[in-house]
A and B are shown apart, each in its own frame.
Chain A
């Protein structure tokens, strides 16, 4: 692997995160500011220092069509901007674009943020709109696919193939809620049990309400800086070592199988290669994976490569993805308990990784940082988009 000089690196120098949940106390701009303000303050810069910014947002259920512009005006930003859309990976797409503006030499400091304001529409409208995110004509128009429905197709196949049970899947929300209970920004700050999960209603069989991430309002922001600038701004820059991405088929019938997400595997391979790593091995202290549903967390373990195919549930049940396990994962409560504000999720995962690598995650949910490296897995739709990003302290 070639060695990069500071001018060829991009680092996170400031983070901000809103409280996640049902946030009808604020509008989109106010919610955005809740994340942008601390990010700017932590970086020790002003709006004038930001030369480009991007806003990950799916939209449709909230009224503003041009969130990058309305948020920019509210937050005092006038530099170039855009909105990024990669469904539930819109946040990672936002990170990509802001990072690219630095790597292309167009800016030295950029902001990547993500936001979603889902409660601005009724639940039934949200279920409809997110269900349309696939192949509209051949899946939604006649067959009324839903977001849980898509993942349920995978869950049915997975449980059958590997002789696993719905109780097994319920181990995922138990872990998520445990860490959510320790995260002040999480939508659900209470523990749950397998029994409680099993009693929850089916949304799309075999997936139940407690297998599913909630509808969430939330925002998160990152200030990025070129490596040499980052070193002047902070003693604890968190470098973005590499990002891999891939796009899966829209039509479910064209997937290779229903046991994992092929796009996730390709994105992971690309991210690891870009970071000069030949595999997961013992290279990582921490993982953030896209657990929009319990089955999604299990498949993510296998697609990223911390579990062999068919062994994700065992890894979960053996507590190997808890903070003191072999592969600490989603110690912020994940999408399930922290909440899943679609466009903000990718940035929220990056905020969590930054805090973890700095050793600032808080009591009961701080991973032991030895290698100084973490991996983020962010999926859009049902393996429609996949973004995998490698972060490091640079030590």
Chain B
């Protein structure tokens, strides 16, 4: 059976958001210095990753920045085989969730050569990385 007729849209929109990061600028300057950082409420001591400017528990805006040590245990992972359009040039990639010493969990890529060696419970290190020579992110590496 032939496909029914469709009217191909002539109006094409490129979506590119401008995401305000002014309140967490120290996170990005930290990546450039090789640090991955979270925030901690000075009033109640709660740590936040992703970092945030406000503490909704004690209603304070009194955060201090701290460097994550980066030592992590692999809690779970997946290999994304079917990738989104905007990642179509990346091939497949490993996404992992790691439990850090600070009782914080981070989701990030796991940069590993042999994917067969990935095991739940393995030790990893979270590090700041420069991507494509132009912007900064963070990734897990096996320890």
Query: Does A pair with B?
Result: yes
B6 within 8 A of A: yes
Q: Which residues of B contact A141 (CB under 8 A)?
A: 19
Interface residues on B, range: 35 or more
List residues of A (96-152) whose CB comes within 8 Å of B's CBs. 124-125, 127-128, 131-132, 135, 137-146, 148-149, 152
B53 within 8 A of A: no
The number of A-B residue pairs with CB atoms under 8 Å apart is 106
Partner of B84, one of A131, A137, A207, A253: A131
Closest to B121 in A: A160
B105 pairs with A254, CB closer than 8 A? yes
* Distance from A118 Cβ to chain B, minimum over Cβ atoms (Å): 14
A355 within 8 A of B: no
A252 within 8 A of B: yes
Closest to B11 in A: A63
Partner of A153, one of B6, B78, B90, B93: B78
Most A CB within 10 A of own CB, among B4, B6, B78: B78
A24 pairs with B4, CB closer than 8 A? yes
A198-206, A264-272, A308-316 - the one binding chain B:
A198-206
* Distance from B27 Cβ to chain A, minimum over Cβ atoms (Å): 10
Closest to B100 in A: A253
Closest to A139 in B: B107
State whether A252 and B107 are in contact (beta carbons under 8 Å apart), knowing that A145-B95, A156-B77 are contacts in the complex: yes
A124 pairs with B84, CB closer than 8 A? yes
Q: Which residues of B contact A127 (CB under 8 A)?
A: 82-85
Q: Which residues of B contact A137 (CB under 8 A)?
A: 19, 50
Q: Which residues of A contact B80 (CB under 8 A)?
A: 144-146, 148-149, 152, 204
Interface size on A, residues (CB 8 A): 42
Q: Which residues of A contact B105 (CB under 8 A)?
A: 252-255
Q: Which residues of B contact A146 (CB under 8 A)?
A: 80, 82-84
A25 within 8 A of B: yes
* Contact indicator per residue, chain B 10-47, by CB within 8 Å of chain A (1) or not (0): 00000000010000000000000000000000000000
* Contact indicator per residue, chain B 67-98, by CB within 8 Å of chain A (1) or not (0): 00000000111111111111110100101010
* Distance from A375 Cβ to chain B, minimum over Cβ atoms (Å): 28
A251 within 8 A of B: yes
A157 to B78, CA, bound (A): 10
A125 to B83, CA, bound (A): 10
* Distance from A149 Cβ to chain B, minimum over Cβ atoms (Å): 5
A154 to B95, CA, bound (A): 12
A contact set with B: CB distance below 8 Å: 24-25, 63, 124-125, 127-128, 131-132, 135, 137-146, 148-149, 152-157, 160, 201-207, 251-255, 258
B contact set with A: CB distance below 8 Å: 3-4, 6, 9, 19, 49-50, 75-88, 90, 93, 95, 97, 104-109, 120, 131, 137-138
By Cβ-Cβ distance, the 9 closest A-B pairs, closest first, are: A152-B78, A253-B105, A128-B84, A144-B87, A157-B76, A205-B79, A203-B82, A124-B85, A25-B4
